[in-house]
Amino acid sequence: MSELTTIARPYAKAAFELAVEKGNVEAWNEMLFFAGQVASDEQASSLLASIPTAAEQADVFIKVCAEQLNEQGQNLIKLMAENERLAAIPAVAEIFAEFKAEFDKEIDVDVVSATELAAEQQDKLVAALEKRFARKVKLNCSIDETVVGGLVIKAGDTVIDGSVRGKLDRLAVSLQS
């Protein structure tokens, strides 16, 4: 996966810079997400692999995506096909989405709790996290009964474990030391 990321980064960066310049970052994000889904599809991948030339691969890919790709998006697909990089399109979409989130000053935060959080609790959590990260926060809440109580918050590389399970685990480690 890291090889695909290395291959995909320059394409994502160029697409992002063009999208910012043209003022259509959201459209590019949607376009690349769709193209990434097509490239990830097993049937589409095997079909593309069976086509001998890059130009034909690009044509088929563009036809599958139909009106989902604008002219610049089609040019990106042609360029990636010429360089035999169509398999990297899902990684390009993922990296582009990261660039967009940074540009929009947004961060996705995964919150795991033992029970479902009420809307008021979520609002308070969003407000506190926006203050801490100085970004707009998008919560992704999930339930895991093994947390026992409290929350586990993951935002990028930052993990805040305020769960009872985490505290018990830390206590057990300190008692064993």
Would you place residue 52 in the very low, low, confident or very high pLDDT band (cuts 50, 70, 90)?
A: confident
Distance CA 95, CA 112 (A): 25
Percent of the chain past pLDDT 70, that is, above it, reads: 99
- With a cut of 90, say whether residue 91 has pLDDT above it: yes
Stretch 54-72: mean pLDDT: 87
Stretch 78-100: mean pLDDT: 91
Which of 95, 78, 93 has its CA nearest to residue 31? Answer: 93
Average pLDDT over all residues of the chain: 88
The three-state DSSP-derived secondary structure of the chain is CHHHHHHHHHHHHHHHHHHHHHCCHHHHHHHHHHHHHHHHCHHHHHHHHCCCCHHHHHHHHHHHHHHHCCHHHHHHHHHHHHCCCHHHHHHHHHHHHHHHHHHCCEEEEEEEECCCCCHHHHHHHHHHHHHHHCCEEEEEEEECHHHCCCEEEEECCEEEECCHHHHHHHHHHHHHC
| Same fold? 2-102, 105-176 | no
Token pair in block for residue 177: 């030391």
Encode pLDDT of 127-148 as tens digits: 999 998 888 888 999 998 888 8
The Cβ of residue 159 has, within 10 Å, a number of other Cβ atoms equal to: 11
The answer to whether the beta carbons of residues 69 and 97 sit under 8 Å apart is no
Domain ranges of the chain: 2-102, 105-176
Would you place residue 67 in the very low, low, confident or very high pLDDT band (cuts 50, 70, 90)?
A: confident
**Widest CA span of the chain, in angstroms?**
65
Q: Residue 4 has what pLDDT? A: 79
Question: What is the CATH number assigned to the segment(s) 105-176?
Answer: 3.40.30
State the pTM of this model: 0.66
Stretch 65-90: mean pLDDT: 89
Q: Residue 2 has what pLDDT? A: 66
- Fold assignment, 2-102: Peroxidase; domain 1 (1.10.520)
Looking at per-residue confidence, does 4 or 155 come out higher? 155
- With a cut of 60, say whether residue 1 has pLDDT above it: no
